[in-house]
């Protein structure tokens, strides 16, 4: 009894003393060059689950559960080289360390990705190409960094997934566009220096900000107080998309009165990038101001504006590439001695946001944000209502057309066409103006106009993000989100090209009015024509997430819900869709649910196992919901109010699993992952201009030209399985070897519903489905590998090289030829007489592009001059100037076996696939000055 009491007292006494005499580690982190305190540095006590971050004053403290004895503090922050400091912790003592320094990582070059990224957006009408590297560039994982920097110019997709599966946030506000779900990187292009604070959580791993998609979440931190005090001026020279870039930025750090601000301006420009006539003209502006109201509240205002204009370049058939070269671009022509590109993309979409940070307690915080984005997104092109197709690579102008003559190959015509194309082969602006001037004299409407397809979005976002450390092992996150979009879509004439008579707002081929409310409207510069509609979208969502961190195991579980509502409002009554075009259509509603969970099991400090699983249902994007928004209210599966496929539009379902083995040691880091993703019930709506597309003959058998076609796939299933591997080894203090690989197989997993929708009709083929099962998904190489090294000299210069191998890139197949009508005679529906299944198999084989290897170099040096840092770095991509196809698509022209066989048997194919080629050798040189 007495013993018990004594032990009890001892216990209380010990407990008391441990409260009264805490073991504390505290200190600050400074910049190795400038000596300034660095905020937002992540400090981890290695081997434990303890971590914290330095505050705005660069200071940190560990007060709870501080482990005793010898330990190592690991310091990391994006933009800095991770550093490790050994410490000794004694019980009930305060350990103060103020001499920890971090060095700027001069090889940290998000610039590498930004060039190939936002500037490489291809023609949105026809390609699904997009880029995910911006999502990954801030990752510390060697595989992801390789994917971001080495694989991006090949349009590699991590796990074959489209960038809509990853979320990009800025100060907690989602930046992905509601139209197609993808982040629009050009909205903040040219602001690299102030967009460096990025926090990336990969795949399904829990993010502090949202539930996220299956590809991960990147949060770009633009909070003014989180910037390192000082300024930076950067000049760059390149031959990729722009030729020159100038950026200047300055951050104040925390100043008197609790204020801090950060500014950046920049310009990127160039007359011509790698492809001909791809000019670049962009300016960037950024400002962020924060006021620390008191210890609990802080308010930040940020504005981003990056207006940019660039000339686009065309995908071309092999015949065209062979006659010209891989820089050839059919979109431009000479205009009084100047290269004038007819297809210009213009993005001017400023963002303003207000962020409120509230530390309810030391463990709980609430971040509330309001953001508003508005502006214009435009793509220009020529319309030819009264003239011949102005495209210099129109199939009727190429040698193949003359060689395919019904009677006999017209060799003379083919030769003339070939010489014309080689010697010229560009848009004839003089002819276009002459046609309009001639029509002025005749009193006829314009034959040609230059117009832009406009998307003017106004989007308001409000959200609140809650985070609380419930105990030392449990963190709770939650969020509520509201997004409201009004998207105004219309075509507007931007240049009458010499015409004074105007342009009739009626379909030139079918003769119906684009707006029966104004059936004979004559449009001029600045007028809306062709189509005019609004899309409204509202999303209400929320998520809850719990993270558990223990010694041996970390695990998490999270759930989310999203209510999505879309509605179309037609402002024109399209003459071919009367009754289904003007006014507000029905609302389309979706409910999205998500659940995910996973754990990381630490076998030892060196060996970890990480497993994640998720199941989500999500609303299709606006683009994949409205099948023909320019003309009518139709949604996937529905035509003129009537369901034609038998399947109602529904949420997309995604099942995702991954398992990784991770090895960590001071010298070697490695990860091996296996993944499985199954997507079901997705819609894919793509648009293109058909020229003579099969199935669109009018009643006289005349094939319509220049129809704007929507290709609708409904209920698409895909299966992505594969493995990723990454390893980096610091073999000597100065040399690091690295390697990464991704081997995957991404295929269609069913035969989805398929139909084509044009202004006034819908065409179904066979039984309404297309046989896509087991065809490979197009979009980047399904297999990629990289090996390389980095050398860092203590004298502040560095050099690296990688060899990258790509294979299994597949062409985008045309669904039209994979339907059962392929082998049926269109007149009687019976199998074609001459149908040979072996030949058909050859014709329908999916083209796989050649394997190729690309060598990249990178290097740089920096000098410290007094308090300033000056340096340069340069990269050379594709050193060996390898020519390779990076993507392509089959043209939809030949609808059945007979037509396709005839085309293939021509001396040269008329309607062969169109391809994009990767760039040859390109360089990027960056010179910077930091103060």
Residue closer to another protein (CB basis): 15 or 388: 388
Taking CB under 8 A as the rule, does residue 280 contact another protein?
yes
Residue closer to another protein (CB basis): 281 or 899: 281
The neighbour count for residue 919, using CB atoms within 10 Å, is 23
Of 409-417, 479-487, 563-571, 620-628, the segment contacting another protein by CB under 8 A is 409-417
As a three-state string, the secondary structure of 866-920 is CCEEEEEEEEEECCCCCCCEEEEECCCCCCCHHHHHHHHHCCCCCCCCEEEECCC
Taking CB under 8 A as the rule, does residue 544 contact another protein?
no
- Cα atoms in the 13 Å half-sphere on the side-chain side of 126: 25
* Degrees, nearest 5: CA angle 540-544-549: 155
Q: Tokens at residue 360, please?
A: 């309810």
Give the one residue of 412, 526, 837, 905 binding another protein; rule: CB under 8 A: 412
Helices (H), 743-870: 837-843
Residue closer to another protein (CB basis): 444 or 750: 444
Residue closer to another protein (CB basis): 464 or 501: 501
Taking CB under 8 A as the rule, does residue 146 contact another protein?
no
Taking CB under 8 A as the rule, does residue 246 contact another protein?
yes
Taking CB under 8 A as the rule, does residue 244 contact another protein?
yes
Give the one residue of 433, 661, 799, 835 binding another protein; rule: CB under 8 A: 433
Q: How many angstroms from the chain centroid is the CA of residue 392? A: 31
Residue closer to another protein (CB basis): 442 or 604: 442
103 to 132: interface string for another protein, x by CB under 8 A? ------------------------------
The neighbour count for residue 337, using CB atoms within 10 Å, is 5
Taking CB under 8 A as the rule, does residue 700 contact another protein?
yes
Of 69-77, 200-208, 428-436, 743-751, the segment contacting another protein by CB under 8 A is 428-436
User: Binders of another protein: how many residues, by CB under 8 A?
Assistant: 54
Taking CB under 8 A as the rule, does residue 734 contact another protein?
no
Neighbouring-strand partners of residue 15: none
DSSP secondary structure, 204-258, as one string:
TSPPSS----SSEEEEE---GGGSPSEEEEEEEEESSS-SEEEEEEEE--S-GGG
Taking CB under 8 A as the rule, does residue 476 contact another protein?
no
Give the one residue of 261, 429, 582, 873 binding another protein; rule: CB under 8 A: 429
213: closest CA among 223, 203, 226, 201? 203
Neighbouring-strand partners of residue 93: none
Of 430-438, 616-624, 680-688, 803-811, the segment contacting another protein by CB under 8 A is 430-438
308: closest CA among 259, 380, 248, 377? 377
Characterise 153 by phi-psi region: left (phi > 0), alpha (psi -120 to 50), beta (else): alpha
Give the one residue of 3, 294, 442, 604 binding another protein; rule: CB under 8 A: 442
Of 175-183, 265-273, 601-609, 786-794, the segment contacting another protein by CB under 8 A is 265-273
Give the one residue of 360, 470, 702, 880 binding another protein; rule: CB under 8 A: 702
Residue closer to another protein (CB basis): 421 or 798: 421
Of 91-99, 290-298, 590-598, 866-874, the segment contacting another protein by CB under 8 A is 866-874
Q: H/E element holding 442?
A: helix 429-442
Give the one residue of 36, 322, 867, 902 binding another protein; rule: CB under 8 A: 867
Taking CB under 8 A as the rule, does residue 189 contact another protein?
no
Taking CB under 8 A as the rule, does residue 209 contact another protein?
no
Backbone φ, ψ for residue 345 (5° rounding): -100, 135
Q: How many residues does the chain have?
A: 931
Of 59-67, 240-248, 730-738, 880-888, the segment contacting another protein by CB under 8 A is 240-248
Q: Tokens at residue 557, please?
A: 């579980």
Give the one residue of 303, 350, 375, 413 binding another protein; rule: CB under 8 A: 413
373 to 402: interface string for another protein, x by CB under 8 A? -------------xxx--------------
Give the one residue of 182, 340, 454, 908 binding another protein; rule: CB under 8 A: 340
Q: Tokens at residue 186, please?
A: 């050009």
**Separation of alpha carbons 636 and 627, rounded Å:** 6
Residue 117 CB, shortest distance to another protein, in Å, is 20
Taking CB under 8 A as the rule, does residue 36 contact another protein?
no
SS3 content of the chain, % helix, strand, coil (to 5): 15, 50, 40
Taking CB under 8 A as the rule, does residue 192 contact another protein?
no
Residue 495 CB, shortest distance to another protein, in Å, is 7
Looking at the chain, the number of H-run helices and the number of E-run strands are 10, 48
Residue 868 CB, shortest distance to another protein, in Å, is 8
Residue closer to another protein (CB basis): 189 or 311: 311
Give the one residue of 46, 108, 281, 847 binding another protein; rule: CB under 8 A: 281
- The answer to whether the CB of 728 falls within 8 A of the CB of 142 is yes
Q: How far is CA 405 from CA 586, 703, 901, in A?
A: 50, 18, 15
Taking CB under 8 A as the rule, does residue 697 contact another protein?
no
Residue 37 CB, shortest distance to another protein, in Å, is 19
Residue 344 CB, shortest distance to another protein, in Å, is 8
Of 75-83, 622-630, 740-748, 863-871, the segment contacting another protein by CB under 8 A is 863-871
Taking CB under 8 A as the rule, does residue 503 contact another protein?
no
Backbone φ, ψ for residue 637 (5° rounding): 95, -15
Residue closer to another protein (CB basis): 174 or 707: 707
Q: H/E element holding 429?
A: helix 429-442
DSSP 67: P
**Separation of alpha carbons 882 and 399, rounded Å:** 27
Taking CB under 8 A as the rule, does residue 157 contact another protein?
no
Cβ neighbors of 838 (< 8 A, separation 6 or more) are none
- The answer to whether the CB of 533 falls within 8 A of the CB of 456 is no
Taking CB under 8 A as the rule, does residue 604 contact another protein?
no
Print burial letters for 394-427: b (CB count within 10 Å at least 16), e (below 16). Answer: ebebbbbbbbbeeeeebeeebeebbeebeeebbb
711: closest CA among 681, 753, 749, 756? 756
Taking CB under 8 A as the rule, does residue 524 contact another protein?
no
Taking CB under 8 A as the rule, does residue 500 contact another protein?
no
Taking CB under 8 A as the rule, does residue 35 contact another protein?
no
Give the one residue of 456, 495, 825, 847 binding another protein; rule: CB under 8 A: 495
Give the one residue of 317, 341, 463, 753 binding another protein; rule: CB under 8 A: 341
308 to 327: interface string for another protein, x by CB under 8 A? ---x----------------
Residue 189 CB, shortest distance to another protein, in Å, is 15
Taking CB under 8 A as the rule, does residue 338 contact another protein?
yes
Residue closer to another protein (CB basis): 437 or 787: 437
Residue 271 CB, shortest distance to another protein, in Å, is 6
The neighbour count for residue 55, using CB atoms within 10 Å, is 17
DSSP secondary structure, 665-693, as one string:
-SSEEEEEEEEEEEEEEEEEEEEEEESS-
Binding site for another protein (CB under 8 A): 231, 233, 244, 246, 248, 267, 269-271, 279-281, 311, 335-336, 338-341, 386-388, 407, 412-413, 416, 420, 429-431, 433-439, 441-442, 444, 447, 494-495, 498, 511, 699-702, 866-868, 929, 931
């Amino acid at each position: 009894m007495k013993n018990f009491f004594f032990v009890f007292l001892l216990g209380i006494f010990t407990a008391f003393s441990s409260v009264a005499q805490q073991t504390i580690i505290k200190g600050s982190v400074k910049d190795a060059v400038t000596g300034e305190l660095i905020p937002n540095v992540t400090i981890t006590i290695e081997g434990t689950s303890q971590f914290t971050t330095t505050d705005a004053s660069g200071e940190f403290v560990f007060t709870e559960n501080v482990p005793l004895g010898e330990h190592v503090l690991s310091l990391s922050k994006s933009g800095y080289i991770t550093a490790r400091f050994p410490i000794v912790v004694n019980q009930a003592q305060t350990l103060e360390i103020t001499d920890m320094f971090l060095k700027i990582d001069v090889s940290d070059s998000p610039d590498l990705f930004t060039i190939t990224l936002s500037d490489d957006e291809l023609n949105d009408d026809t390609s699904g190409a997009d880029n995910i590297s911006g999502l990954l560039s801030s990752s510390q994982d060697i595989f992801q960094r390789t994917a971001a920097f080495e694989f991006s110019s090949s349009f590699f997709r991590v796990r074959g997934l489209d960038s809509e599966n990853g979320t990009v946030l800025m100060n907690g506000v989602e930046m992905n566009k509601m139209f197609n779900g993808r982040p629009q990187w050009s909205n903040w292009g040219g602001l690299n220096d102030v967009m460096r604070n990025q926090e990336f959580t990969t795949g399904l791993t829990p993010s502090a900000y949202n539930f996220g998609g299956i590809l991960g979440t990147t949060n770009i931190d633009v909070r003014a107080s989180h910037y390192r005090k000082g300024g930076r001026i950067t000049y760059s020279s390149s031959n990729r998309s722009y030729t020159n870039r100038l950026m200047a930025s300055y951050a104040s750090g925390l100043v008197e009165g609790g204020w801090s601000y950060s500014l950046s301006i920049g310009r990127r420009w160039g007359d011509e990038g790698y492809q001909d006539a791809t000019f670049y003209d962009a300016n960037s502006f950024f400002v962020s101001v924060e006021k620390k109201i008191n210890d609990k509240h802080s308010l930040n205002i940020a504005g981003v504006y990056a207006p940019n204009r660039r000339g686009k370049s065309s995908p071309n058939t092999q015949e065209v590439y062979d006659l010209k070269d891989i820089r050839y671009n059919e979109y431009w022509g000479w205009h009084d001695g100047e290269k004038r590109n007819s297809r210009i993309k213009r993005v001017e979409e400023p963002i303003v946001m207000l962020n409120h940070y509230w530390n309810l307690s030391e463990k709980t915080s609430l971040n509330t944000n309001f953001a508003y984005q508005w502006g214009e997104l435009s793509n220009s092109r020529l319309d030819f209502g009264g003239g011949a197709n102005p495209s210099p690579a129109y199939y009727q102008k190429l040698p193949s057309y003359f060689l395919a003559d019904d009677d006999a190959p017209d060799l003379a015509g083919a030769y003339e066409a070939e010489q014309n194309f080689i010697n010229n082969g560009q848009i004839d602006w003089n002819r276009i103006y002459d046609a309009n001037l001639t029509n002025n004299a005749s009193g006829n409407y314009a034959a040609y106009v230059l117009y832009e397809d406009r998307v003017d979005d106004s989007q308001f976002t409000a959200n609140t993000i809650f985070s609380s450390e419930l105990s030392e092992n449990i963190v709770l996150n939650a969020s509520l989100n509201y997004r409201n979009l009004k998207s105004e879509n219309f075509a507007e004439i931007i240049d009458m090209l010499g015409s004074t008579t105007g342009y009739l707002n009626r379909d030139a081929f079918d003769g119906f009015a684009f707006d029966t409310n104004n059936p004979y409207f004559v449009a001029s510069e600045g007028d809306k024509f062709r189509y005019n509609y609004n899309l409204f979208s509202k999303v209400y969502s929320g998520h809850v997430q719990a993270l558990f961190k223990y010694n041996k195991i970390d695990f998490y579980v999270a759930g989310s819900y999203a209510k999505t509502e879309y509605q179309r409002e037609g402002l024109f009554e399209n003459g071919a869709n009367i009754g289904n075009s003007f006014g507000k259509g029905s609302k389309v509603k979706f409910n999205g649910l998500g659940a995910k969970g996973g754990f990381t099991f630490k076998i030892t400090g060196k060996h970890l196992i990480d497993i994640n699983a998720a199941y989500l249902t999500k609303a299709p994007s606006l683009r994949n919901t409205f099948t023909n928004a320019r003309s009518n209210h139709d949604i996937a599966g529905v035509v003129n109010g009537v369901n034609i496929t038998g399947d109602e539009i529904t949420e997309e379902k995604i099942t995702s699993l991954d398992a990784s083995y991770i090895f960590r040691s001071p010298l070697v880091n490695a990860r091996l992952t296996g993944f499985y993703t199954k997507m079901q019930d997705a819609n894919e709506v793509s648009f293109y201009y058909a020229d003579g597309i099969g199935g669109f003959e009018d009643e006289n058998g005349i094939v319509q030209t220049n129809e704007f076609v929507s290709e609708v796939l409904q209920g698409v299933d895909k299966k992505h399985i594969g493995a990723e591997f990454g390893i980096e080894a610091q073999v000597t203090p100065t040399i690091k070897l690295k390697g990464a690989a991704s081997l995957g197989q991404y295929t269609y997993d069913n035969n989805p519903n398929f139909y084509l929708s044009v202004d006034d009709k819908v065409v179904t083929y066979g039984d309404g489905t297309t046989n896509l099962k087991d065809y490979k998904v197009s979009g980047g190489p399904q297999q990629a590998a990289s090996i390389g090294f980095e050398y860092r000299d203590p004298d502040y210069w560095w050099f690296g090289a990688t060899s990258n191998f790509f294979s299994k890139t597949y062409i985008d197949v045309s669904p039209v030829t994979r339907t059962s009508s392929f082998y049926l005679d269109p007149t009687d529906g019976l199998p074609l007489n001459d149908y040979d299944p072996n030949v058909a198999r050859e014709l329908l084989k999916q083209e796989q592009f050649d394997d190729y290897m690309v060598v990249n170099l990178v290097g740089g040096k920096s000098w410290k001059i007094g308090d300033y840092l000056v340096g340069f770095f340069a990269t050379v991509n594709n050193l060996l100037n390898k020519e390779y196809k990076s993507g392509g698509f089959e043209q939809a022209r030949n609808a059945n076996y007979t037509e396709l066989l005839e085309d293939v048997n021509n001396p040269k194919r008329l309607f062969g696939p169109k391809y994009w080629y990767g760039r040859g050798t390109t360089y990027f040189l960056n010179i910077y000055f930091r103060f």
